[in-house]
Structure 1
């Protein structure tokens, strides 16, 4: 669906040149929700603006649905942009227009007849949950309602791709979740490809299928969201995962955890998918003559299922401890990592 090759954007300043996006290559499948995450200055917002040429690339190629976006002239680009919707952090609504008139605006520009335009606007108002607010002005709306107007407007011309540039960053947590649920619903109903730019791993965790981590203009890590959570390779990715899981796995923290106990083994358990809902601890305690002490951990829901990390102390005779660990490793889908023998 979307193929990006060698995409680069360099800005010239009086004293030097800054490379905001650095030789970025990426493929995004049709119909998926693809997340791009990075801290401020990573280049992610510049990257998403390059996809519809709100920023002109310095080098590279962007192909959407077999069409080379970077090769289009201004007239061709204007028509193609109708197939690429975009929503923004601060909504970018027309404050002198009502909800329905904001949503109708791109249809007016496209020359859609009024009767067809009115029908499409009402469809979108119903889709985004704004029925009854058609005649309200942006100043009369909450932040979440404003973003729903922005989403409806972006969908007006039935785009193939929806670009979301920090679309939930200005919203409170509850409203953020409602907007993310709406994006998942739209993705399923319309089979729409969504590219979501954010600095919040919670957003990635909740709705994305794939994620790319950006740092200093480059993609430093990429993959299935669940796999990235399970095995974050880069330090920046590890920090993002810690945002959601609420546990740090730095060596010093593990050492502190282990040093509290003077017997048994300290074990880290990775729960994935259905295994996160299993009563594993009580089951193992019944099967083996051991004591299990839960030290810390968290389980969180993702688009692809549940994921969790649990730190436990397993105490008892060495043979029983080893048998319990072998059972978990061989008979369940839970991953086991022995952090320290403290016998």
Structure 2
């Protein structure tokens, strides 16, 4: 079921007498209950795009539809009601520092006029959901970054929204804490069926919990699709750069350069997708084609749609053996890209 639909959406700002196009003619569909990622570097337009979903920014052109709401046609009162179903969490938490964990989470319920007994029951439920039992009376200054973000998530869930917008929600966190917050978001998505739109500049974040992704550059969505498909066949250079954040180890290039200096073999990048990532293809290759294979570097990334493996090898053999080896790999659904010849 389609929950979010953007049609030809653009946003132009007027800055110092000049027009700046932050978002350009974006078409986007997001299904109910999915975790959808938007990835791009700073200035790509992704944060502006997410603010167009709840009309914190008004599109210059185009239409925004969320659930049954034609967002641009709503009165101010109706828009306030719609926004209760479209919650948001932020990079820097935006907590009320003079309020306890309990009172931060209760705040949107107070604004909505929920009775105190019902409010307290809901807050207790959310505290348990996000793993903050025992910290109800703590103030934000007494919490770690991960705990602060858990408060932010609980507060965003208070009014039982249909959509959770996450604008760089893990960027201020260390890798271990980031992983725990992403696991929490995935758990919430599974338990509540909540639709999550996740904005980030880090492809490992997309890889961990998103089912589909849109890649933004210079205000445009330049590529979108199933995460595993995007990993397998990135169409744009910016997408290939993001995919390499996950699939290519940092020291892979160094290992390849060292291999080239030794002038041995042909360096090939192998790509495995889905179940093929766990198969012993390299050992079968050695036996079938009588070649010497030296493994340089490798990595297997897990996505919500399956695994994606990348392996750099050096193959030694004559021209026919090399061609037979590539044909063997392709026959086993392994993509083989020649990086350099000996």
Taking structure 2 as the reference length, the TM-score comes to 0.92
Residue number in structure 2 paired with 1:316:
317
Residue number in structure 2 paired with 1:304:
305
Residue number in structure 2 paired with 1:334:
334
Asked if the contact 1:258/1:340 (under 8 Å) is kept, the reply is no
Question: 2 CA distance for matches of 1:150 and 1:262?
Answer: 55
Tell me whether 270-279 or 81-90 shows the greater mean CA deviation.
Answer: 270-279
Question: 2 CA distance for matches of 1:166 and 1:272?
Answer: 28
List gaps (5 residues or longer) in structure 2.
none
Deviation at 1:119, TM superposition (A): 1.1
Q: Secondary structure at the match of 2:62?
A: strand
Residue number in structure 2 paired with 1:188:
190
Asked if the contact 1:245/1:299 (under 8 Å) is kept, the reply is yes
Residue number in structure 2 paired with 1:280:
281
Question: 2 CA distance for matches of 1:232 and 1:333?
Answer: 17
Report Cα offsets for 1:267-304 as digits up to 9, x if no partner: 32111122212222223223442211113332222222
Please point out which of 113, 118, 121 is paired with 1:119: 121
Asked if the contact 1:130/1:145 (under 8 Å) is kept, the reply is yes
Residue number in structure 1 paired with 2:168:
166
Equivalent pairs counted in the alignment come to 339
Alignment of 1:126-165 (within 5 A): 126-165=128-167
Q: Secondary structure at the match of 1:130?
A: coil
Q: Secondary structure at the match of 2:333?
A: coil
Asked if the contact 1:35/1:210 (under 8 Å) is kept, the reply is yes
Alignment of 1:100-119 (within 5 A): 100-119=102-121
Q: Secondary structure at the match of 1:196?
A: strand
Q: Secondary structure at the match of 2:159?
A: coil
Deviation at 1:131, TM superposition (A): 0.7
Question: 2 CA distance for matches of 1:322 and 1:56?
Answer: 56
Please point out which of 41, 60, 83 is paired with 1:58: 60
Asked if the contact 1:128/1:152 (under 8 Å) is kept, the reply is yes
Shift in alpha-carbon separation, 1:132–1:29, aligned structure 2, 3 A: same
Give RMSD over aligned pairs: 2.3
Q: Secondary structure at the match of 1:106?
A: helix
Deviation at 1:118, TM superposition (A): 1.1
Residue number in structure 1 paired with 2:269:
268
Residue number in structure 1 paired with 2:19:
17
Residue number in structure 2 paired with 1:220:
222
Deviation at 1:163, TM superposition (A): 0.2
Deviation at 1:319, TM superposition (A): 4.8
Shift in alpha-carbon separation, 1:254–1:73, aligned structure 2, 3 A: farther
Question: 2 CA distance for matches of 1:85 and 1:56?
Answer: 17
Question: 1 CA distance for matches of 2:271 and 2:69?
Answer: 42
Question: 1 CA distance for matches of 2:81 and 2:306?
Answer: 39
Residue number in structure 1 paired with 2:296:
295
Deviation at 1:61, TM superposition (A): 0.8
Alignment of 1:21-100 (within 5 A): 21-100=23-102
Deviation at 1:16, TM superposition (A): 0.9
Deviation at 1:9, TM superposition (A): 1.3
Asked if the contact 1:267/1:312 (under 8 Å) is kept, the reply is yes
Deviation at 1:87, TM superposition (A): 0.3
List gaps (5 residues or longer) in structure 1.
none
Report Cα offsets for 1:151-173 as digits up to 9, x if no partner: 00001111110000000011111
Shift in alpha-carbon separation, 1:205–1:289, aligned structure 2, 3 A: same
Report Cα offsets for 1:11-51 as digits up to 9, x if no partner: 11233111111121111111111111111111111111111
Deviation at 1:117, TM superposition (A): 1.1
Please point out which of 229, 232, 254 is paired with 1:230: 232
